[in-house]
Structure formats: C-alpha cells, structure tokens
Amino acid sequence: MNISTIEKGYRIFKENNGKITRWFNESYIRGSLAYIESRPLIMINKNDSIDEQLKTLIHELLHIGYEHDLLIKKPRQECAQDLEEKINQETEEIFESCPDMIEILKKEIGTSFIVPD
C-alpha cells in the first residue's frame, strides 16, 4: 500500500481548491475526475453508500497522486490498465487500514456540494 500517494493526491486536491460534488448520473456508475483549468473536480454518485462514496473518493485521489502532472496537460487521457488495477487494489487497502484518512475524507464528503435531482 502506498499511503504517500493518497496523501500527495489529497494535498494537491486541497492546494488547487479541489471540489467534490455528489450527484447521480447514469453515464457513470461510481465517480469521475475532471479538471477545470487546474482545479480538480471529483464527482461521486450520491446514491452510493457512504462506504462506496469513500472508496470512490480514495480512488480519484490516488489518480491525482499518481497522475496530476499528466492529467493537467492531457485531462482526457485514459489511465493505463495496469495503473487502474493498482489504484483499485490500493483503494481497498487504504479503505480497510487507514481510519484517520477515512475520517478526514468523510468530512470532505459531508461538506461537498449535492446536485439536486
């Protein structure tokens, strides 16, 4: 597990005034990451359980940690499959073994913008 990568992703997210939105969109199941200029926007499915929302947030923060510089230059570039698998595995490990980080992320979700139906 690479806790420093999620810490890096979270730091970049905060330094760049990143925002979380919770909404429902049938075009994606769990969540997505976009950039508006250099500001990260993480979208999570408001209909998911809090655990699934947390895993989605962890997943997208790991993407920021691993790929921030690349995503700023080419925001629509696809993630390499092996990196996606690594991020999926690390998401589960962090969710299960980092309670302090989970508490911080719960607060982030709690203060996120909810898009009404």
| pLDDT tens sequence across 80-100 | 778 889 999 999 999 999 999
Average pLDDT for 52-67? 94
111 vs 71: CA distance, rounded Å? 25
Quick one: pLDDT band at residue 51, thresholds 50, 70, 90? very high
Phi, psi for residue 16 in degrees, rounded to 5: -100, 20
Tokens of 59: 């997943």
Q: What angle do CA 97, 14, 32 make, to 5 degrees?
A: 70
55 vs 92: CA distance, rounded Å? 7
**Amino acid letter for position 39:** R
pLDDT the model gives residue 88:
93
**Is pTM beyond 0.75 here?**
yes
pLDDT at 53 over 80: yes
**Structural domain boundaries in the chain:** 3-114
Quick one: pLDDT band at residue 117, thresholds 50, 70, 90? low
